Homo-oligomer: A and B are copies of this chain.
Amino acid sequence: MAKKRAKKGRITLTADEMGLQQREISISEFFTKNRHLLGFDNPRRALLTTVKEAVDNSLDACEEAGVLPDIWVRIRQTNGEDRFRVEVTDNGPGIVKSQIPRIFGKLLYGSKFHRLKMSRGQQGIGISAAGMYGHLTTGKPVAITSRTGPVQDAHYYQVIINTKENEPRILKEDIVEWDMERGTRVEIELEGTFQRGNWSVDEYLEQTATANPHVTIHFEAPDGKKQVFKRATEVLPEEPKEIKPHPYGIELGMLIRMLQETKCHKLQSFLHNDFCRVSSRAAKEICEKAGIYVNARPKRIAQQEADRLLKAVHKIKLRKPPMDCISPIGQELIEKGMRKQFEADLYISVTRAPAVYRGIPFMIEAGLAHGGKMKERSAAKVMRFANRVPLLYNTGACAITHAISKVNWRQYGVEQSNGSPPSGPLLILVHVASPWVPFTSESKEAIAPYPEIEKEIMLAVQECARDLRRFLNRRRRRAEEQRKREYIQKYIPHIGEALQEILGFSDRERKKIDKNLTTILEKSRTK
């Protein structure tokens, strides 16, 4: 161990002593200490994050397997006021036995990181982190029950993470009776706080139902209250497809690595096969522009050649990446979702054409609801979604909030103080869908403000806002009309009376005059 020496009263170390202190840090140790990065910085948020990670995983699994999702979320208070057992069950495809321990007991393990395809999960951290937090605060393992089909066994596991190694440790392993034919149940016990209202499990489930109208969620709260969010459609969303990376979004280091790892033996076929939107002809053109032989072996491309290759790529015109890796909610269903939850006078929704950032496609959808039972004099309600998952925390850091604040709402007839989101009886919904959403932290609560993404969000919201302005103008005109009509109706009898007095009409004639006057004024007004 490092020897300690006093030198003018200081304990100082030499390079050798410092060398002895160097150690490897496991990813689980890192996240245990930094658990606020994962959304476990306070008990209330911890409970929400746990439910969220489990439900997101269930929905992803069901959709990939082509199953209409039914999710049961049950939260029970256990031993003491601040301990809860979260149980999330789905009717999904189940998990094969060999994968169960690592999916729930190892951070950075999953199927979604290495592919370009829209899904709720991305990193392979979430559910294992929830289990880790549960174990940290209550000492209880994660319990998983899973079955892949009616003739298969239902497997039961109790798992914790060995944080030093970031590997699962299996405490119990069994075959059990289970009344589900197929599906997965995960149970996590943790320290938490259950509250309703903003940033709550309720709000998350409600918004999940809005953005996922094909899902039914059964919720049982710790106070025994039961709620069902029933699906609004029986049709599953289009399953997104996996795509290859687009050359425009590739950086030098990535290109070098792809060259090393490719299975292709020739540069031209590497460019054509390992990227999207590179035809054989385009690949040839790139090689020529870079001054490299089309049959060169990818593994032998030197760094400077790779550099030239990358420059050549940007000189070639390539089509945008394919967009079937994204599955939007769709205009109609966004409106349906809003209608189900909010009573308003007007619903507008927009699905933009896909755009690209860093070579990765993304798509913005937006919805607006106005009036109805929403409050006149308060900030607009903003609902943020990324790949159909509601985002509840870190509002201020999110590209969606930034973009909404940058829109000049007064231009659309809505009140706004400078640089803030608008106010009024308004609901604004924004959905960012992409095979790779850049979140500002691992807790996935805010989208990093990339300029391309912000701009697209603004365009989507402005498109909705234009419809809103039309609606508000029409309503204002109609109100004005009404006011004038009443005005006219109020004074015409008096004019008629006055005329009668002056000119000495009969009462019958007077009624005719009244009618004529009304017609004339009405005509001149609508001109």
Is A10 in the interface zone, CB < 8 Å from B?
yes
* Given the contacts A93-B18, A137-B252, A251-B137, A64 and B109 also touching, CB distance less than 8 Å: no
A36: chain B residues at CB < 8 Å are 438, 440, 448
A432 within 8 A of B: no
Say if the beta carbon of A502 comes within 8 Å of chain B: no
Whether A10 contacts B108 by the Cβ 8 Å rule is no
A37 touches B397 (CB 8 A): no
Min C-beta distance of A14 to chain B, whole Å: 6
Q: Are A64 and B18 in contact (CB under 8 A)?
A: yes
A contact set with B: CB distance below 8 Å: 7-8, 10-16, 18-19, 21-27, 29-30, 32-34, 36-37, 41, 61, 64-66, 93-96, 98-99, 102-103, 106, 108-111, 113-115, 123-124, 132, 135-140, 148-149, 163, 236, 238-239, 241, 251-254, 256-257, 303, 306-307, 394, 396-397, 436, 438-442, 448, 450
Does B24 contact A108, Cβ atoms closer than 8 Å?
yes
With A66-B12, A109-B25 already in contact, the answer to whether A123 and B30 are too (CB < 8 A) is yes
Given A13-B64, A93-B18, A448-B41, are A24 and B136 also a contact pair (CB < 8 Å)?
A: no
Ordered nearest first, which 4 A-B pairs have the shortest CB separation?
A: A136-B253, A12-B66, A21-B111, A19-B96
Distance, CA A440 to CA B36, complexed state (A) = 7
User: A239 contacts which chain B residues (CB < 8 A)?
Assistant: 10-12
Cβ of A26 and Cβ of B93 under 8 Å apart? no
Known: A13-B93, A22-B110, A34-B123. 14 other contacts (CB 8 A): A12-B64, A13-B65, A14-B93, A15-B93, A25-B109, A26-B108, A33-B113, A33-B436, A36-B438, A136-B253, A139-B253, A139-B256, A139-B303, A394-B397
Known: A236-B10, A253-B137. A19 touches B438 (CB 8 A): no
CA distance A18 to B148 in the complex (A): 11
Is the beta-carbon distance between A65 and B307 smaller than 8 angstroms?
no
Partner of A123, one of B13, B15, B25, B450: B25
Q: How many angstroms from the CA of A115 to the CA of B29 in the assembled complex?
A: 13
Partner pick for A124 among B25, B98, B438, CB 8 A cutoff: B25
**CA–CA, A392 to B16, complex, Å?**
34
| CB-defined contacts of A132 to chain B, threshold 8 Å | 253
- Cross-chain contact A24 with B109 (CB below 8 angstroms): yes
Whether A251 touches B136, Cβ cut-off 8 Å, given contacts A15-B148, A448-B36, A448-B41, is yes
Q: Which residues from chain B contact A29 at a C-beta distance below 8 Å?
A: 113
Which residue of chain B lies nearest to A253 when distances are taken between CB atoms in the complex? B136
Considering the chains assembled together, what is the distance between the CA atoms of A148 and B397 in angstroms?
Answer: 44
Q: A111-B21, A113-B25, A441-B441 are contacts. A10–B66 as well, Cβ < 8 Å?
A: yes
**With the chains together, A16 CA to B140 CA distance in Å?**
29
| Chain B residues closer than 8 Å to A123, beta-carbon distance | 25, 30, 34
Across-interface contacts of A252 in B (CB, < 8 A): 136-139
Point out the residues of chain B lying under 8 angstroms from A148, CB to CB.
14-16
